[in-house]
Each structure stands twice: as C-alpha cells, then as structure tokens.
C-alpha cells in the first residue's frame, strides 16, 4: 500500500515498531489478537489495528502540500479535514480557515471567497451542489480534493446500481458530512433514502410491505429522502451502501434484513435475489472492518477497563467505544490530558452527549490490564502519549522508552 508524507509529529516510534512487527508476522491480517505490552505493574492490550487509515493519511498529505504550494494565498477547508481536533488545529495554525462546521452551517460568507483562493475538499467528500458552487466561483474543486478513495468507491457503486434501476438505501448518520455527500451523489442517479440504524431499517421494511400509510413515510423520513421519492414504487428494488465509518456488522445486518423483507414480500427465492436486491458488500471500508475486527479480537481477552482515543465527533471512533462498552468499563478520551490524575479521568459519554469527569477509574489493585485502541483519524503519536501518561500515573514512568527499545530490537 502507498506510503504518505505525513508530518513526523504524528508518528510514534513505539507504535510504528509494533505495527511493523505485527505486519511482518501477519501479512494476510488474519490475526486479530491484541499486542501485549508489559510496563511494570501496568499491562496494556493494544488493538491489532488502529489509528490513521489510508484515506486520512492521503488527506493530510494533500492538505499540507496545498499549504506548501500556495504561499501567500488564502486557503480554505470546506469543513473539518478529519474528525480529530489536534490535526484540525494544526491546519488552522498554518492559516487554513474552515468555511463550514461539521453540520454544514456557514462560518463565513460565500461572498468572501474568490477565484484566487484555494479551497480543499475534506476526506469525507462533499456534495455535488457544493462542487457546483465552487465551479461557479471559478475554483476547481478537484485540485486539492482529499476525498477518501473508499468513500468514492461507495459513490461509484451507488451510481452504477442506481443506473441499473435500484433505489439506494444509505446506512449513515443523516447529518454527517460523508452521508450528506453520499446522498447527494446517489440521488443524482436514482431515488435515495437514508436510514440511521436498524430501527429505521425495520421501519422502512414496513413501507416495503405496505403495512403503513404511504403519506406517513414522508414524515418518518423527513430530510432523509431524495426529491420526488415515490414510496409506492421506489422500494421495490434496492441496494444498501453505507457511510464508511459505521459499524460494518450493523450495515450488513440492515442489508440482510431489508433483503429478506423484499424477497419474502415479492416471493423471490434466494438464488434470484439480484432481481430485487443489489449485492453491495464490496463497498465496506477495509479500515473500518480492520479496526472493528481488532476490537472484537481484543475483547476476547480479559481486562479491567478500556481507553478509546479519538475526536469526540468521530463516527468510526464512537463505534469502537460502543463495542468496548459491551464488555467492560470504557472511557472515550481525546488525548493524554484527559488522564487528569491517578484518581480522575475526563471522558466523553456517547449516551449523554457530553464530557464527564469520573473518579476512581484505576483499579485499587496491581497489576491491572487496560485495553487501548484509537479511531482512524487519531495520530499514533497521541496513542503513545496516552500510554506514557498512563504509565506515569501508575508509577511506571519510563516504560515507553523501555518498550520502544524492546520492540525496535525485535
């Protein structure tokens, strides 16, 4: 796989040594057991896969190159490059300004942008409507486009099966940048509807089976269907694609559920399923799959608690948190400073949608085990700093240097 020119301060000598060793020992990526790090009275179970993915590194390289190649010019990002506060802060420190927030709300006036400016499309991609706005201003939207290739793969697949007469069902968070972009690209080819979870998929299934009044669909899915969507005919043939950072297992579950509903409703045998349901399994993101599978593998071990590192608005990171929460106490932290002391941790609660402070998070006994993973937009250096901070707080200062020497010598 291609390597990218990513700023050195995002790298971690320790994590790089571990990843290189695991990759050499498991070229086919079939081993999802965690890496065990012994740090005195602290034992760390580090997920097999975590951190920057291909799409994120590609986006960071392009953004930093845009700055280097356009000295003296104004440079804008349509919205956050990725959902990591540290990386976005670095870009802003270089003078890059954000045009919109993550929900699409304007942070400045479009009138302030001219054809002399540079505008970067973030890794999530953008809508066709936004691309046209840029073109109308005389700005080439693809010159510094950082859209993840795997997001584009979803768009291309949605377009292809849409042209073949299937309606697209997008599994994603309706307000997320990537889902908005995928919805825009899909609806240019075919009727499209967004479902945010299995509950909405089951609701959609009721409309497939004509169990609910047609007019209710436009209320239940307000803002989530394309213009002119006809519930009486546009759910007869479907294909399911996803926001690439969703839980892969949930996307597959939704696809399987809707497939079974449609086949049962129309009396179609499984071997003829393609008559009504398109096969879209090839649109699932490899990094999402790898990181989630690595957490599942890690959870087969025993530990006292888990730390998941990443931006609080990161979709892929939140799903790693959800997986860990199924088994053990889990703390979603943005950086090492969230480990306030040996008694206090600051962390984000997905259910209350706010940051909390918890006391007594470390076990009262030693040794103890902690699981650690991070989202696809989290630099490896940040994970190393979390490990170092945890080691210091547990009386194991200097453990990172010892671990690094050990792994580099392996």
- Over residues 188-195, the mean pLDDT reads 98
For residues 182 and 158, is the Cβ–Cβ distance under 8 A? yes
Per-residue pLDDT, averaged over 39-63, amounts to 95
Which one from 80, 131, 178, 384 is the annotated catalytic residue?
178
pLDDT tens profile 373-398: 999 999 999 999 999 999 999 999 98
Question: In the prediction, which pLDDT does 283 show?
Answer: 73
Instruction: Quick: pLDDT tens for 242-273.
Output: 999 898 889 999 999 999 999 999 999 999 99
Burial of residue 315 (number of CB atoms within 10 Å: 0-12, 13-18, 19+): buried
Same fold, 8-53+287-408 and 149-283: yes
Confidence of residue 186 (pLDDT cuts 50, 70, 90): very high
- What number is the average pLDDT over the span 306-328? 96
CATH of domain 54-136: 3.40.50.11270
**What are the domain boundaries of the chain?**
8-53+287-408, 54-136, 149-283
Write the CA distances from 147 to 90, 167, 189, 235, 324, integer angstroms: 19, 24, 20, 30, 29
In percent, the amount of the chain with pLDDT more than 70 equals 99
178 belongs to the catalytic site: yes
222 has a pLDDT exceeding 80: yes
Bridge-based pairing of strands 368-374 and 305-309 is parallel
Quick one: average pLDDT of 25-49?
A: 95
The DSSP element (H or E) to which 69 belongs, if any, is helix 54-69
CATH number for region 149-283 = 3.40.1010.20
Residue 1 has pLDDT above 80, yes or no: no
pLDDT for position 288:
87
Q: What is the mean pLDDT of residues 276-297?
A: 89
User: How far apart are the C-alpha atoms of 332 and 13, rounded to whole Å?
Assistant: 24
CATH topology of domain 8-53+287-408: Cobalt-precorrin-4 Transmethylase; domain 1 (3.40.1010)
Contact (Cβ atoms closer than 8 angstroms) between residue 48 and residue 372: no
pLDDT at residue 281 tops 80 = no
Q: Please tell me the predicted confidence (pLDDT) of residue 82.
A: 87
Q: pLDDT digits over 140-162, tens only? A: 999 998 999 999 999 999 999 99
């Amino acid at each position: 796989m291609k390597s990218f020119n990513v700023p050195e301060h995002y790298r971690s000598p320790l994590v790089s040594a571990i990843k290189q060793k695991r990759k050499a020992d498991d070229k086919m990526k079939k081993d999802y057991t965690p890496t065990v790090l012994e740090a005195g009275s602290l034992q760390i179970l580090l997920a097999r896969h975590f951190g920057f993915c291909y799409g994120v590194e590609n986006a960071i390289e392009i953004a930093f190159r845009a700055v280097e190649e356009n000295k003296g010019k104004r440079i804008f990002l349509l919205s956050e490059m990725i959902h990591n506060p540290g990386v976005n802060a670095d870009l802003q420190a270089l003078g890059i300004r954000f045009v919109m927030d993550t929900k699409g709300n304007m942070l400045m006036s479009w009138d302030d942008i001219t054809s002399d400016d540079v505008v970067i499309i973030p890794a999530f991609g953008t809508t066709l409507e936004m691309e046209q706005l840029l073109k109308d201003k005389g700005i080439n939207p693809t010159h510094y486009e950082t859209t993840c290739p795997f997001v584009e793969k979803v768009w291309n697949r949605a377009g292809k099966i849409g042209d073949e007469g299937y309606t697209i069902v997008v599994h994603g968070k309706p307000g997320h940048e990537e889902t908005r972009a995928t919805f825009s690209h899909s609806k240019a080819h075919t009727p499209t509807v967004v479902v945010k979870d299995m509950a909405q998929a089951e609701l959609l299934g009721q409309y497939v089976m004509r169990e609910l009044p047609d007019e209710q669909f436009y209320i239940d899915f307000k803002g989530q269907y394309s213009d002119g969507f006809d519930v009486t005919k546009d759910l007869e043939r479907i294909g399911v694609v996803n926001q690439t950072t969703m839980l892969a297992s949930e996307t597959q579950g939704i696809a399987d559920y809707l497939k079974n509903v449609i086949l049962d409703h129309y009396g179609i045998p499984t071997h003829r399923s393609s008559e009504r349901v398109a096969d879209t399994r090839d649109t699932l993101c490899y990094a999402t799959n790898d990181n989630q599978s690595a957490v599942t593998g890690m959870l087969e071990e025993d530990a006292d608690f888990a730390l998941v590192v990443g931006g609080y608005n990161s979709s892929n990171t939140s799903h790693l948190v959800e997986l860990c929460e199924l088994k053990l106490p889990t703390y979603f932290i943005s950086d090492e400073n969230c480990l306030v002391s040996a008694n206090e941790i600051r962390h984000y609660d997905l259910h209350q949608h706010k940051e909390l402070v918890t006391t007594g998070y470390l076990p009262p006994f030693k040794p103890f085990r902690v699981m650690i993973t991070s989202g696809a937009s989290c630099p490896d250096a940040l994970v190393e700093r979390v490990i170092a901070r945890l080691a210091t707080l547990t009386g194991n200062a200097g453990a990172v240097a010892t671990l690094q020497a050990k792994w580099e010598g392996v």
